[in-house]
Structure 1
Amino acid sequence: MVFGESGATEGFRTSNGTWARIERRNRWKINSAVWVGLEAAATIKNVRKPEWFQATAWIDEAREVAWRADEVELISAPIVGDLATMATLPDAWWTAVRESLAALGAHQTERVGMTQAHLTKRIGEIFPGVDTTVDEWRTAHADVHPGNLSVEGHLIDWEDWGAAPRGLDAATLWQSALPDPAVAARVQREFAADLQTRSGRLSQLLVCANAIRIAARRGQPTPLSEPAKAAAELLLAELGS
């Protein structure tokens, strides 16, 4: 059995050779879009991800929680997990991820992965006065990092996907790679078409602001915050030019 980071999910292999994901939430705190994210992702084509088969949900009156069980394709490929592994991945992996994110970006959806208001608020908290107007929107996974990618290029954890600034997925992957300059540079090269747009730069500035804000809240630098500060200086210059 595999437990989610928040302690609200468990996953395990079934006797049918599939994967079961069990989730529980306080019944008065269910975000309807997140609750059905995995199921809704079944409509997306040409993206490497677990196939969704079926689901059931029920209310637990005694515990005041709602439960949901999803049955999906079992992905036997290991999760990338860390930058050391990511640094060793072949060119084919990068191509697969890039193609999946391109196909996802072209998918039409009414779901929202990130709003203009959220991006403006988070950037403004650290970098006041920046024009944060996004000029290009795409459909995004909205949580791309080594823990949500398999070594065969599968994208997992589809709770939060939806429309977002172009380049958000590449930016979140780049943020996770900041402690390793070589891997971060590889992300920049592979996803340059998105990251070098205005919306891509704003997405990068957003993740830099998030890293800096977290470090400030903790009262000490983190592996992400110092490289984020250096990167933010360049991004601010580019956005101001």
Structure 2
Amino acid sequence: MHAESATALDVTPIGSREAWGWRGRTLSRPVATSSGDAWLRLVSAPADKAGGKLWEGPQEAERLMPPVVPRPRLRGRRTWTEGGHGYLAELYDRITDSTITTYEPILRKAPDLDDAWWDELGTAIDSIAKVPSNRVAVRQEYLDRAMPQYLGIPIDTRVPAWTTAHGDLHWANLTSPALAILDWEGWGLAPAGYDAALLHAYSLLVPDTAADVRRRLGHILETPAGRFAELAVITELLQTVTRGDNLELEGPLRARLAHLGEK
């Protein structure tokens, strides 16, 4: 199907590199076009689940995100159904800088990031937050149900402020030394501070970097809304722990929860 999408979009796969997404849901490869190298990403899903918010996310990001948000630009797309599966092929500008982690979102060693990188990230997060959108990344109904269950403490689950978020801002979706923010499937409204809180949570195994996140993005995190966003993120990640994912984060997440409870 990836080869078929390359033919349909008039591009040619180059090299042997293959980038597989979560649980084999996506396959991406570098390709050559008449105007230079690009990146071809193919998404698959059962036909009855193809389409909707996740499939429209990159196209909507291309339409609405301001230029100050660094990201690979979407050049073209094609959708089709075959053999009981739906497919979405997306052709992007090729980003030559590497992601900070490979495949997994959890940070395991401190990255070498300069002041300009952090400044650009902060500007991007602030700019994303201002984009008007009817898309939803985190639902109030979910928080009402999940926060008491997974945090195990009495809590007011009402979101104090909503802003637009990338929704999956982790280390495998960020590049360096030049910053690019990848994977725009799930962006939309979330508790204010959600992106910064998620990046911080995925940094907890590297305390120095977690402290960098708190310092660099303190204007977001060190607010009542930012603290609520951290609790929302901790809720989500503790739920993933019950499913067998992110097991190494459980201890640091619970320690962070205890710290937030002291404030």
- CA separation of 1:24/1:202 partners in 2, compared to 1, >3 Å: closer, same or farther? same
Instruction: Give the match's secondary structure for 2:23.
Output: coil
* Alignment gaps of 5+ in structure 2: 1-17
Residue 74 in structure 1 maps to residue 100 in structure 2: no
Give the letter for the 2:118 counterpart: W
| Alignment map for 1:121-136 (pairs within 5 Å) | 121-126=145-150, 127-136=152-161
Deviation at 1:201, TM superposition (A): 1.0
| Alignment map for 1:135-146 (pairs within 5 Å) | 135-146=160-171
Give the Cα separation in 1 of the matches to 2:109 and 2:98: 11
The C-alpha deviation readout for 1:59-86, integer Å capped at 9, x for no partner, is 11xx211111111111011111063564
- CA separation of 1:236/1:31 partners in 2, compared to 1, >3 Å: closer, same or farther? farther
2:190 counterpart (153, 161, 164): 164
Correspondence for 1:178: 204
Give the Cα separation in 1 of the matches to 2:183 and 2:125: 14
RMSD: 1.9
Give the Cα separation in 2 of the matches to 1:80 and 1:22: 22
Instruction: Give the match's secondary structure for 2:98.
Output: coil
1:102 counterpart (126, 130, 135): 126
- CA separation of 1:57/1:189 partners in 2, compared to 1, >3 Å: closer, same or farther? same
Residue 47 in structure 1 maps to residue 69 in structure 2: yes
- CA separation of 1:68/1:215 partners in 2, compared to 1, >3 Å: closer, same or farther? closer
Correspondence for 2:222: 196
Give the Cα separation in 2 of the matches to 1:85 and 1:156: 20
For the 8 Å contact 1:171–1:207, the answer to whether it is kept is yes
Correspondence for 1:89: 113
- CA separation of 1:221/1:42 partners in 2, compared to 1, >3 Å: closer, same or farther? closer
Give the Cα separation in 2 of the matches to 1:10 and 1:221: 23
Deviation at 1:6, TM superposition (A): 2.0
Q: Give the alignment's TM-score, normalised by structure 1.
A: 0.91
* Alignment gaps of 5+ in structure 1: none
For the 8 Å contact 1:86–1:146, the answer to whether it is kept is no
Give the Cα separation in 2 of the matches to 1:217 and 1:50: 32
Correspondence for 1:231: 256
Give the letter for the 2:227 counterpart: R
The C-alpha deviation readout for 1:97-135, integer Å capped at 9, x for no partner, is 111111111111111111112223221112342002112
Give the letter for the 1:105 counterpart: A
For the 8 Å contact 2:108–2:205, the answer to whether it is kept is no
Q: Give the alignment's TM-score, normalised by structure 2.
A: 0.84
Give the Cα separation in 2 of the matches to 1:55 and 1:215: 35
Give the Cα separation in 1 of the matches to 2:142 and 2:241: 19
Give the letter for the 1:73 counterpart: D
- CA separation of 1:130/1:84 partners in 2, compared to 1, >3 Å: closer, same or farther? closer
- CA separation of 1:12/1:147 partners in 2, compared to 1, >3 Å: closer, same or farther? same
For the 8 Å contact 1:37–1:161, the answer to whether it is kept is yes
Give the Cα separation in 1 of the matches to 2:210 and 2:224: 19
Give the Cα separation in 2 of the matches to 1:85 and 1:96: 21
For the 8 Å contact 1:56–1:70, the answer to whether it is kept is yes
Residue 117 in structure 1 maps to residue 135 in structure 2: no
Give the Cα separation in 1 of the matches to 2:109 and 2:261: 31
Residue 9 in structure 1 maps to residue 51 in structure 2: no
Give percent identity, aligned residues only. Answer: 27
For the 8 Å contact 2:41–2:91, the answer to whether it is kept is yes
- CA separation of 1:221/1:102 partners in 2, compared to 1, >3 Å: closer, same or farther? closer
Question: How many pairs does the alignment contain?
Answer: 235
